[in-house]
Chains A and B, each alone.
Chain A
Amino acid sequence: MNPTPDNHDQGPLESLADDALTLEIRRLWEILDPPPGDLADGVLATLAAIDLEFEFELLTLVEAHDALAGTRSLTSQMSEVGQWSLEFAGPDFRVLLRISTVNERRRVDGWVLPRRPMRIQVASASAGHPSYDGVEVDAHGRFEITNVSPGLSRLWFLPEPGESDDSRLPIATPPFWI
Chain B
Amino acid sequence: MRVLHRPLLLALTALTLSTAAFAGEIRIGLTEALTGPASQYGVPIRNGFLLAQEEINAKGGIDGNRIVLLEEDERGKKEEAINVYKKLIFQDKALMIFGPTLSNSMFAAGPIANMAHVVAFGTSNTASGITDIGPYIFRSSPMEADVVPVTLKAAIQHLGLHKVGIIYGNDDAFTKSGYDVFRQALQAQHIDVVDTETYSKGDVDFKAQLTKIKAQSPDAIVCPCLSEEGANILIQARALGIKVPFIGGNGFNTPKLLENARTAAEGTIVGSPWFDGNPSPANQHFIAAYRKKYGADPNQFSAQGYDALFIVAEAIKKIHLTGQTERDRQALRDALPSVQFAGATGHFAFRPAPQHGGKAGGYDADQTPFVYIVKNGKFALLK
- Please determine whether chains A and B interact with each other in the same assembly: no
